[in-house]
Amino acid sequence: MSDAEMRRLGTRARGTDGGIVVVGAGLAGLFTALKLAPLPVTVVSGAPFGEGGSSFWAQAGIAAAVGEGDSPEAHAADTVEAGAGIVEDSIAELMAREARMRVEELLEYGVPFDRDLEGKLALGQEAAHTSRRILHVKGDTAGKAIMQALIEAVRATPSITVMDGWNAGDLLLSDGRVAGIALHSADQNRPKRRILPARAVVLATGGAGQLYAVTTNPAQSKGEGVAVAARAGAVIADAEFVQFHPTALAIGADPAPLATEALRGEGAHLIDKSGKRFMRGVHPDAELAPRDIVARAVHRQVVSGAGAFLDLRPFGATLAKRFPTVHASCLAAGIDPAVEPVPVAPAAHYHMGGVLTDADGRTSVDGLWACGEVASTGAHGANRLASNSLLEAVVFGARVAEDVSATMQNYRGDAAPAFDYDEPAARDDTRRIRLLRQTMAAKAGVVRDEQSLREVLRVIAELERSHPDRPLKNMLTTAKLIAAAAFARHESRGAHFRSDYPEANPALARRSFFTLEEADSVARDAVGGEEARPGVVTALHA
């Protein structure tokens, strides 16, 4: 893309020359940018810098085998077990092995992980971990503390330029390679578009929880990065696997406040409205069963009318100090957790699927990398192990930075200038977005079946024909990838539960891979009332 072509698009934007662009200012994006120093990097953030992003909201901690008697091998084994047969063993081992190094770096950045009376790192227990290996900050503020430390580090790093108030549009390609990215202003009252040239683009845009009516994710988590990559031809992996956190506070808030799994690790119980513990009859580990099992059990309780409540009364007066975020959320909803159980329900929490990457974060599109929740590294499989998400963000953020640095060392071109131009005012898609979110929650949520997924794909097709504006267009693209992958997987595995195929099929113990073109084909066949034809997609191949 020549300078003359850029000039024809609009006015030059000062101080935003291309080179390396990281889209997303959560943990994965900021850690990547810091590890790229002293190379110049532009970090793009939709929300004001230091606000928004799932990382900032993370109540749980970061998993790392740093305690006595624990080992990276045991951590990797737990990760593989939780992933229900489709975790990439080598990726799980790599992530667990590099965990200690990344925790030490976070400590150097000033993250105040909890310590015991002897000054050693305090380690918590969470579901499906065979050892206490979760590092917390004040019980349930790890995400906030880690982000605050990295934000300060970014502000002190002169090689990093932050552009907040911009969302990702489409990738610009030249001869099949990334040449830049189009950005759109987040301020709907002053719509603008910015063309930002780049030799390397790193997607770190987070998850897709806002595709569902009930979610713990912030407003920015709309699956934007997956949609942008898919339209550029990137392969999307494991899209059907959406993790629902079993204990979101059922108080009608959007997003739904989260009651961290650490509460159950420290003795909180799930009860019905009569006070009976219902998880004892579901799984030997009761409340500490894998998340997908607990989420489905809570879902059944809610749907049946028996109710699901988290009993925090055993913590008594210590709850406010040990878990201040949860305590504050309860009080804000008019609930005193010291004297009454807290109503809970499953909520879309984490997308195990995303843009397919290798161990260095490279996608199938030349010049495009991805890390954090937007990526699918193969570390999570069908069901993410608790507190592995923050770990994955820093482990693969560092690996992306190393790979991008090596690539840029061989690049000797001059950075091209960025250009801005005005856009028409965006249309109001509020009602259409509400319809999509309600449909995804009801038909592609904790429990799915063939008919419900057909209905999701039909609604998506209708909304696509309504000429949606860019935010809804991105949401529809990612929702289609999730629903098409779920339609094509005729079994139940991990977080993907099909009531018409309730058992796991050993022959399908493999990851799924889709391009957008292939997802479109599945969607057309589904809406037409046909089964997905063999050979139409490369999904579910060995």
Give the CATH number for residue 457.
1.20.58.100
Q: Which of 346, 379, 410 is the last residue of a domain?
A: 346
Question: Is the domain of 138 the same as that of 282?
Answer: no
How many domains is the chain partitioned into structurally? 3
Continuous segment of H or E residues that includes residue 480: helix 470-488
Q: What is the pTM of this model?
A: 0.91
Q: How many CB atoms lie within 10 A of CB 320?
A: 17
Question: Is the domain of 461 the same as that of 405?
Answer: no
Are 364 and 233 in contact, with CB atoms under 8 Å apart? yes
Q: How many CB atoms lie within 10 A of CB 446?
A: 24
Are 57 and 91 in contact, with CB atoms under 8 Å apart? no
Considering the domain boundaries, does residue 535 fall inside one? no
Question: Is the domain of 446 the same as that of 400?
Answer: no
Considering the domain boundaries, does residue 534 fall inside one? no
Considering the domain boundaries, does residue 536 fall inside one? no
Question: Is the domain of 316 the same as that of 253?
Answer: yes
Question: Is the domain of 437 the same as that of 516?
Answer: yes
CATH code of the domain containing 268: 3.90.700.10
For 5, counting Cβ atoms within 10 Å of its Cβ (0-12 exposed, 13-18 middle, 19+ buried), the class is exposed
Hey, what are 79's tokens?
Answer: 């990760």
Question: Is the domain of 233 the same as that of 251?
Answer: no
Considering the domain boundaries, does residue 320 fall inside one? yes
CATH code of the domain containing 231: 3.50.50.60
Question: Is the domain of 316 the same as that of 200?
Answer: no
Considering the domain boundaries, does residue 506 fall inside one? yes
Are 463 and 475 in contact, with CB atoms under 8 Å apart? no
Q: Which of 361, 393, 422 is the last residue of a domain?
A: 422
Hey, what are 369's tokens?
Answer: 């990398």
Considering the domain boundaries, does residue 134 fall inside one? yes
Question: Is the domain of 137 the same as that of 226?
Answer: yes
Question: Is the domain of 310 the same as that of 409?
Answer: no
Q: Which of 315, 331, 346 is the last residue of a domain?
A: 346
Catalytic residue, candidates 102, 199, 291, 384: 291
Task: Tally the C-alpha atoms within 13 A of residue 320's C-alpha that lie toward its C-beta.
Answer: 7
Question: Is the domain of 98 the same as that of 148?
Answer: yes
Each of the 542 residues of the chain gets a pLDDT tens digit; together they read 344 444 444 444 444 445 899 999 999 999 999 999 999 999 999 988 877 666 666 666 899 999 999 999 999 999 999 999 999 999 999 999 999 999 999 999 999 999 998 999 999 988 789 999 999 998 777 888 999 999 999 999 999 999 999 999 899 999 999 999 999 998 877 889 999 999 999 999 999 999 999 999 999 899 999 999 999 999 999 999 999 999 999 999 999 998 988 899 889 999 999 999 999 999 999 998 888 899 999 999 999 999 999 999 999 999 999 998 899 999 999 999 999 999 999 999 999 999 999 999 999 999 999 999 999 999 999 999 989 999 999 999 999 999 999 998 866 555 566 777 777 877 889 999 999 999 999 999 999 999 999 999 999 999 999 999 889 999 999 999 999 999 999 999 999 999 999 999 999 999 999 999 999 999 999 998 544 444 333 443 33
Considering the domain boundaries, does residue 410 fall inside one? yes
- Give me the domain span that covers residue 251: 245-346
Considering the domain boundaries, does residue 540 fall inside one? no
Question: Is the domain of 95 the same as that of 23?
Answer: yes
Question: Is the domain of 71 the same as that of 217?
Answer: yes
For 115, counting Cβ atoms within 10 Å of its Cβ (0-12 exposed, 13-18 middle, 19+ buried), the class is exposed
Is residue 291 annotated as a catalytic residue, yes or no? Answer: yes
